[in-house]
Amino acid sequence: MKLPRRLHSIQGSLLLHELSFVFLILITTSVAIVWAFAWQKSSEESLRLTAMNSHVQSIRGELYRQLKEVFDAAFLDDQHARDEYNFYSRRINDGLADLRLLSEPGNETEAIIQVETAYNEYRVQTRELLRSVSLSEEQKNLLDYQLEQHTFAELEHAFSGFDSLLKEKQTALAEARQRWMSQLLLLVPLPVLLALSLLLLSRRFVRNNLVRPLAAVMHGARLISKGNLHHQIESRGVDDLVRLADAINSMAEELASNRDKLVEARKQAAMGELVPLVAHNIRNPLSGIRAAAQVTLEEQPAPDVQDVLKDIIIAVDRLERWVTSLLTYLHPNKPHFTSESLQQVADNAISLIQLQLADKRMRIDKAGWQEKAFEIAIDTNLMEQTVFNLAQNAIEASPSGSVIKFVYREDEEQVELNIHDEGNGMRYDPVAEQVTDGEAKRLGCGLGIPFALKVIKQHDGELIYDSAPGRPTRVTIRLPKKRFEPQE
pLDDT in tens, the chain (488 residues): 444 555 556 666 666 666 767 777 777 777 778 777 777 888 888 888 888 888 888 888 888 888 788 777 766 777 777 888 888 888 888 888 888 888 888 888 888 888 888 888 878 777 766 765 555 666 556 565 666 666 677 777 888 888 888 888 888 888 887 777 777 666 667 766 776 777 677 777 777 777 788 888 888 888 888 878 778 888 777 777 777 888 888 888 888 777 777 776 676 666 666 666 566 567 657 766 777 777 787 777 888 877 887 778 777 777 776 676 666 656 555 678 899 999 999 999 898 888 788 888 999 999 999 888 899 999 888 898 889 889 988 888 899 999 999 999 999 899 999 999 988 877 656 665 543 333 333 333 345 677 788 888 888 999 998 877 778 889 999 999 988 887 65
In a domain, 448, yes or no: yes
In a domain, 228, yes or no: no
Compute the distance between CA of residue 120 and CA of residue 434 in angstroms, rounded to an integer: 113
CATH number at residue 346: 3.30.565.10
In a domain, 59, yes or no: yes
Contact 423, 439 (CB under 8 A): no
Query: End of a domain among 151, 167, 187?
Result: 187
In a domain, 265, yes or no: no
pTM: 0.40
Containing domain of residue 160, as a range? 5-187
Query: End of a domain among 187, 217, 242?
Result: 187
What is the four-CA torsion angle of 178, 182, 187, 188, rounded to 10 degrees?
A: 100
pLDDT attached to residue 196: 72
In a domain, 387, yes or no: yes
Of 401, 399, 384, which Cα lies nearest the Cα of 451?
A: 384
Q: Which amino acid is at 64?
A: Y
Contact 474, 420 (CB under 8 A): yes
The number of beta carbons lying within 10 Å of the beta carbon of residue 155 is 21
In a domain, 290, yes or no: no
As for how many domains the chain has, the answer is 2
pLDDT attached to residue 1: 46
Compute the distance between CA of residue 351 and CA of residue 220 in angstroms, rounded to an integer: 50
In a domain, 310, yes or no: no
pLDDT attached to residue 328: 62
CATH number at residue 151: 1.20.120
In a domain, 324, yes or no: no
Distance in angstroms between the alpha carbons of the first and the last residue of the chain: 68
What angle, 0 to 180 degrees and rounded to 10, lies between the N-to-C axes of helices 239-298 and 303-330?
150
Query: End of a domain among 155, 187, 219?
Result: 187
